Structure formats: structure tokens, C-alpha cells
Amino acid sequence: MSLVWRDIAVLSQGGRALALSCFFLVLAASLFPFAVGPDTKLLSAIAPGVHWLLALFLAVLHGERIFVEDEQDGSLEQLRALGFAEGSLMFSRIVAHWVIAFAPQIALTVVVDIFLGAGLASAGQHMLSLLIGTPALSCLAVLAAALTLGARQSSLLMIVIVFPLMIPPLIFGVSAAADSGSAALMLLGASSLISLVIAPLAGHFALKAALK
């Protein structure tokens, strides 16, 4: 638990990263009416897709820094020397990434929906889909960060790795947010659960290779 708190404290950079998430969401959401036009019907129809695209961008926005600083300043070495396994380093960073990227998004769902002219009724559905699906995005972002640790052009690599892997949660997430049918929501939950098992496991090997 102390590791999770430490990672949240370090990655949130004294709250600046949380503020970045909030500003990004509000500003990006406010641009959609300008880009698409003031047609509230159209805006509310694309609202699920907008929520989930913003989620993808947030995942990558905070994904890059997950391990880099700690690797460069020697913190990862110290954490390993303290006996923290690679899997627990992965898991705590997945939690920290989710708190920094997606907790603000879930809290601001209603605000984004107001910009998009979607009703409060649909905001609940959007929030539920984000709550269930975003852990998968955090897992994939942290896994990609572990895989690209120490690589040159790691930002480019990260985008290339992470966006294709995020397509299934994106599809399930948008359908779960658009429609209250339970099938998409269950598939979304399943992708989060599978990611929560696979990402720490795969990340274990990725970090091991990076720390060699």
C-alpha cells in the first residue's frame, strides 16, 4: 500500500498531473462544439465516442512518464533493492496511472456531457462505462511504458504499441456508453479483468529486461 501511495504522490507531481487531466478534459470537450457544430443532437449522439477518445488520449498523455523518471534517477533500482517485485511495481503504477488519468475524467463526466449537450441521464451510463473500462486502458498504458523503457523514440513506440491494443476496450466502451445493454458492459469488464491479470505478468518480464 505504501508503494501505491508513493507512486500516486510521485506521478501526480504535487497535483500538477491531476490538474493537467482536468484542464485537458474541459478544454478538449469545449472544442467539440466548435469542431462539429452546435447541433446538440449530433453532439449528444457522438458523446460516447468523445468520452472514450478522450480516455485514450489521457492514457497516453500520462503513460510516457510512468517509469522514465524513476529509471533515470535510480528510484527503480532502490525499489527493487527494497524487495519490491516487478509485478508489484507494475500493479502500483497501474493504480497510480488510473487515479491520475481517469479518476478526474470520471468525476468530470457530467461537465463533458454538458459541453456535448447530452442529458444527465446518459451521463450516468457514460460514467459507468468509463469506471468499468478505464482500468484496461491504464493496464495497457503502463505495460507499454514498461516495454518501451530505455528504448529510443519511446514516445513514438508507445503510441504504436498502445493504440492498436486499446481498440477492443474502445469498441466495447463506446457501445457500453451508448447503450444500456449489458453485453457490451460485460465484455468491457472482462477486458479490464483480463488486462489486470496480463499486464503485471507481461510487465514483470519487460521490467526485468529493462533493469538488466
Partner 1 sequence: MQATPLDQPLLSAKTLRIDRGGRTLIEGLTFDLRAGEQLVVRGPNGCGKTSLLRVLAGVAAPAAGTLTATSVGYLGHRDGFKDTASVACALKQWCALARQQNPALDEVLAQVGLADRSLFLVRALSAGQRRRLAIARLLLRKASVWVLDEPFNALDSAGRALLTQAFETHCAAGGCIVMALHEDIAFDGAKTLSLGEAAA
Cell triple for 78? 532502490
Q: Which of 30, 51, 32 is nearest to 177 (CA)?
A: 51
Count CA atoms closer than 13 A to 123's CA, side-chain side.
Answer: 16
**Rounded CA separation 86/102 (Å):** 23
Q: Which is nearer to partner 1, 40 or 78 (CB)?
A: 78
- Residue 182 touches partner 1, criterion: CB under 8 A: no
Q: CB 99 → partner 1: shortest distance, Å?
A: 17
Residues numbered 51-90 forming contacts with partner 1, rule: CB under 8 A: 69-70, 72-84
Output the smallest distance, CB 137 to partner 1, in A.
26
- Sequence length of the chain is 212
Distance CA 143, CA 59 (A): 11
Minimum Å distance from CB 13 to partner 1? 8
Chain centroid to CA 17: 13
Q: Which amino acid is at 18?
A: L
Q: Which is nearer to partner 1, 90 or 123 (CB)?
A: 90
180 binds partner 1 (CB under 8 A): no
**Is 209 within 8 Å of 153 (Cβ atoms)?**
no
- Regarding 3 and contact with partner 1 (CB under 8 A), the answer is yes
Min separation Cβ 197 and partner 1, Å: 23
- Closest approach, Cβ 80 to partner 1, in A, equals 4
Binding footprint of partner 1, residue count (CB under 8 A): 26
9 belongs to the binding site for partner 1 (CB under 8 A):
yes
Instruction: Give CA separation, 125 vs 42, 83, 201, in Å.
Output: 18, 42, 31
* 36 binding partner 1? (CB under 8 A): no
Residue numbers at the binding site for partner 1 (CB under 8 A): 2-3, 5-6, 9-10, 13-14, 69-70, 72-84, 208, 211-212
